[in-house]
Amino acid sequence: MKILETNLKKGIVKVLPEDLDDLWHLYNIISIGDRVYAYTSREVKPEGEYARPKGGERIRVFLGVKVEKVSWDKSLNRLRVLGRICEAPEDLNITGFHHTLNILPNRPLTIEKDRWLKHEIDRLKRASKPRVKPIIVVAIDDEEYCIAILRQYGIEVKVEERTRIPGKLEAEKR
């Protein structure tokens, strides 16, 4: 993770997550009540006398959300931050509505807290240090095998399959 900007007096940290481990760190740092700012897409419906009620277009917009819920989905490689919009362009008139920010690797975001705790800052610093190469674990048995990678959030299983090795009566097939 790259720390792009830090201003702890104002309670602001801007980061660039680079992989799934970084999203896991952010999942553990972002709390209910924080404000998270990022680019997202939002459907905007046209207003007016002759506007279609179902018609709308999706636009890219920079939003701030006051966090109500944070969820981390390692299978989809994303972090979801749900909350009420606290900052948005005035012409959209969407402040106060709910929105979910999908935080993905290589997309910057800004986290604003009333007070940063020491362990949160330490975790950010730890996540921004260069990492060693991942450890690959291979477990082999006579009936199955598993290949996994040790990550900061746990073990990521890449392949796990059962095999059948010929028995002692089928020595030529071994």
Structure pTM?
0.78
Structure tokens at 57: 């277009």
- Cα–Cα distance between 39 and 37 in angstroms, integer? 7
CA proximity to 69, closest of 51, 55, 84, 58:
84
- Cα–Cα distance between 162 and 152 in angstroms, integer? 27
Share of the chain above pLDDT 70, in %: 94
- The total of other beta-carbon atoms located within 10 Å of residue 53's CB is 7
Q: Are the C-beta atoms of 2 and 13 separated by less than 8 Å?
A: no
- Sorting pLDDT into bands at 50, 70 and 90, what band is 91? confident
pLDDT at 24: 92
Per-residue pLDDT reduced to its tens digit, 3-57: 999 999 999 999 999 988 899 999 999 999 999 999 999 887 766 555 555 667 8
- Sorting pLDDT into bands at 50, 70 and 90, what band is 160? very high
- Cα–Cα distance between 22 and 16 in angstroms, integer? 9
CA proximity to 149, closest of 20, 26, 16, 2:
20
